Amino acid sequence: MRRTLVATTAVLMLTIAAPAIAEEAAQPNAERVAAARAAIKGLGGGLKEKLVAAMQSGGPISALDVCKLEAPKVTDTQSKSSGMTVGRTALKFRNPGNAPDDFEKRVMEKFVADIKGGADAMKLEHAEVVEKDGKKVFRYMKPIMTAGTPCLACHGGELKPEVSAKIKELYPEDHATGFAAGDMRGAFTVKQMIE
């Protein structure tokens, strides 16, 4: 009888305690998602600014140098100012440092399938709290779509020979060409440890 009571009490306590502990079990809270959206907006804006300026001043060849130098810097700065690890990744990536992990691969494959199925790419995003090595990690991703200009100059199917050569020089293992306008080029990705 007593044992039953103890057991029942334990179950009750668990039930009561569970919602607080499991608040971010799989579904992240809204503030965290809003912060991730703001962080990638900052990253996208920062990168675009550098890219447009470089394309205007020196065309794609010099813009390639600028991208290689500046993209990691802008990404670092945005990570520090947002308190989240922000970045870009792709199934077909240019910089091996942007290669996706299993989670990112899975989410991007789902984005591609959703877009193929008619989903509005601009509205797609994925937010989840996952467990990694016994710790909770917030993850957020959003597709990056290929626009005709200026993306295709460096990611398209028919690159100028000199652009192609420069890419090969800077990124001997490049996978990020052959895209068409409207293709998903990759995704923004955000990570944050949850205490």
- Binding part of the chain for ligand HEC, among 18-26, 68-76, 106-114, 117-125 by CB under 6 A, reads 68-76
Q: Which is nearer to ligand HEC, 71 or 129 (CB)?
A: 71
**Chain centroid, CA 174 distance in Å:** 19
Among 129, 185, 190, 192, binds ligand HEC (CB under 6 A): 185
DSSP string, 149-164: TTTHHHHBSS--HHHH
160 forms part of the interface with ligand HEC (CB under 6 A): no
- Angle, alpha carbons 178-126-156 (nearest 5°): 10
Among 86, 91, 151, 190, binds ligand HEC (CB under 6 A): 151
**Chain centroid, CA 36 distance in Å:** 10
Residues that bind ligand HEC (CB under 6 A): 51, 60, 63-64, 67-68, 71-72, 88-90, 93-95, 98, 144, 146-147, 150-151, 153-155, 176, 185-186
